[in-house]
Amino acid sequence: MSYGQRGKRAAPFSLRLSFEERTKVEANAGNMPVAAYIKSLLFADDEDQRAIGTPFVG
């Protein structure tokens, strides 16, 4: 099944983090929204995703 077809969308993705994990992710994300930051890490090899923001340096 292709999610790109009109009217078909994937269900939202949920990720549970501990308080400490979320604090670390938020700190690393800086001014970026957490979701955009996580996507930038996951898709760092894709040219389109590099435009979202600065990858994690840590």
Domain assignment of residue 4, yes or no: no
Domain assignment of residue 56, yes or no: no
Report the chain (58 residues): mean pLDDT per 10 consecutive residues.
Answer: 68 93 97 94 72 57
Domain assignment of residue 1, yes or no: no
Query: What whole-number distance in Å separates Cα of residue 49 and Cα of residue 8?
Result: 22
Domain assignment of residue 12, yes or no: no
Domain assignment of residue 31, yes or no: yes
Other CB atoms within 10 Å distance of the CB of residue 3: 8
How long a stretch of residues is the chain?
58
Domain assignment of residue 58, yes or no: no
Domain assignment of residue 43, yes or no: yes
Range of the domain at 43: 19-50
Domain count, the chain: 1
